[in-house]
Amino acid sequence: MDIHIFSTNVQKVKDALNLTNLLRLYFRLRDVNFDLGDFRQGEEMILRIESENLQPVRIVQAMNDLGYECKPL
């Protein structure tokens, strides 16, 4: 089991919730979550993903394709 952590430019909680569902379905992930508890408008939102055999570059590419910046931490 791998845990990947990313920094993103997602700015809205609604977008984070939609992305959580999209990423979970598209990549069949065990767990996907944005750190909503510490989120403040205008700051980066942290994305955590738990998966098996998923390369982080695939998440970065998917987020970029959806119009968001995303980089591994």
The per-residue pLDDT for 53 is 86
Q: What tokens were used for 12?
A: 């809205």
The whole-model pTM stands at 0.88
pLDDT tens-digit profile of 37-58? 666 666 778 999 999 889 999 9
Distance CA 7, CA 28 (A): 21
What DSSP designation does 55 have? -
Number of C-alpha atoms within 13 angstroms, CB side, residue 23?
Answer: 29
pLDDT, mean of residues 53-71: 95
What CATH number does the domain containing 50 carry?
3.30.70
Range of the domain at 12: 2-72
Structural domains in the chain (count): 1
**Per-state percent for the chain, helix, strand, coil, to nearest 5:** 35, 30, 35
